[in-house]
């Protein structure tokens, strides 16, 4: 009885995980354009602790506003990653991170060709982003072993 339940849980977790990272997967095939940093900001926020989902964390989001052009039309974006925005425990850490993006500097923007408003700057999964995938696969393996 435990085998089918673990297998079912693993499948559900993996489906949810793929849904959460679908933009990360899709952005592999997105085109790249040159963007320009229009501004940066640090905003106090709370978010769920990725390693302890039952707890909230206080911290700071680092926001990068950038302009880019697609088919002679200018767009402005703020999305850093397909899965999450940069989040830091201290305001000083967020400001240190943002020093990498001086005003009017150039950066590479990944753009969804079918929806130019959909962009990301970074295509990288953190350990916290990958954790549900490993958990789902682990549940499926346990389920298969117990069948």
Tell me the mean pLDDT in the region 92-107: 97
Quickly tell me which residue has 């389920």 as its tokens: 143
Q: Where are the domains of the chain?
A: 1-21+127-147, 30-124
Label each residue of 54-78 as H, E or C.
EEEEEEEEEEEEEEEEECCEEEEEC
Question: Which contacts qualify for 90-96: CB closer than 8 Å, 24 or more apart?
Answer: 90/59, 90/60, 91/42, 91/44, 91/60, 93/60, 94/42, 94/60, 94/61, 94/62, 95/42, 95/62
pLDDT digits (tens, 9 = 90+) for 41-69: 999 998 877 667 778 889 999 999 999 99
Calculate the dihedral angle through the C-alpha atoms of 50, 57, 59, 84, rounding to the nearest 10 degrees. Answer: 30
Name the 3-class secondary structure at 133.
helix
* Record: fold of 30-124: OB fold (Dihydrolipoamide Acetyltransferase, E2P) (2.40.50)
CB 67 within 8 A of CB 95: no
Q: Is the pLDDT of residue 7 over 70?
A: yes
The pLDDT assigned to 63 comes to 96
Task: Please tell me the predicted confidence (pLDDT) of residue 24.
Answer: 83
The pLDDT confidence band at residue 21, using thresholds 50, 70 and 90, is confident
């Amino acid at each position: 009885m435990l085998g089918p339940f673990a297998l079912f849980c693993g499948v559900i977790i993996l489906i949810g995980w793929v849904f959460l990272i679908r933009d990360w997967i899709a952005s592999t095939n997105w085109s790249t354009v040159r963007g320009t940093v229009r501004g940066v900001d640090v905003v106090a926020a709370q978010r769920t602790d990725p390693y302890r989902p039952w707890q909230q964390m206080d911290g700071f989001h680092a926001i990068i506003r950038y302009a880019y052009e697609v088919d002679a039309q200018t767009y402005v974006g703020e999305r850093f990653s397909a899965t999450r925005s940069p989040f830091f425990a201290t305001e000083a850490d967020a400001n240190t991170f943002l020093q990498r993006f001086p005003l009017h500097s150039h950066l590479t923007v990944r753009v969804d060709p079918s929806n130019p408003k959909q962009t990301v700057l970074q295509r990288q999964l953190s350990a916290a982003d990958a954790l549900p995938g490993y958990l789902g696969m682990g549940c499926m393996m346990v389920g298969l072993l117990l069948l």
